[in-house]
Amino acid sequence: MKQMIGYCGLDCEKCDAKLATVNNDQALREKTAKLWSELNGVEITPEMICCDGCRVDGRKTPFCEKFCQVRQCALGKGVETCGDCAEMDNCEKVGMIHRNSPEARANLKA
């Protein structure tokens, strides 16, 4: 499996935080911070939009580093991705992501 597929199956290579980081794109950082702030009902600053990828060593957004329940669960279980977990099909944590992004589930099944 590609290293840039997150624990949940989302493709980090398509994530605006990763793209802004790799391309040092301040405008994309600002746009992403604004959108994510609105979606999550919390203040997210452009400085927080800095990520090298969910499953690789390096920088992570504060949410991904500390608060992402899917990432914390996968790390705790020692699985490469949720696709390696026998509970994935009935998991509410990753299920929410898969309902909103069916391609994430498809990435894990591939």
> Mean pLDDT in runs of 10 for the chain (110 residues)?
85 94 97 92 94 93 90 96 96 94 93
Given a contact cutoff of 8 angstroms between Cβ atoms, the answer to whether 9 and 108 are in contact is yes
User: How many Cα atoms are found within 13 Å in the side-chain-facing hemisphere of 51?
Assistant: 28
91 within domain boundaries: yes
48 within domain boundaries: yes
**pLDDT score for 58:** 93
* Residue range(s) defining the domain that contains residue 26: 12-109
2 within domain boundaries: no
Number of domains, the chain:
1
Angle between the N-to-C axes of helices 102-109 and 92-100, in degrees from 0 to 180, rounded to the nearest 10: 110
56 within domain boundaries: yes
40 within domain boundaries: yes
SS3 19: helix
80 within domain boundaries: yes
- Please report which helix (H) or strand (E) contains residue 75, including its range: helix 69-77
4 within domain boundaries: no
Q: CB within 8 A of 25, min separation 6: which ones?
A: 19
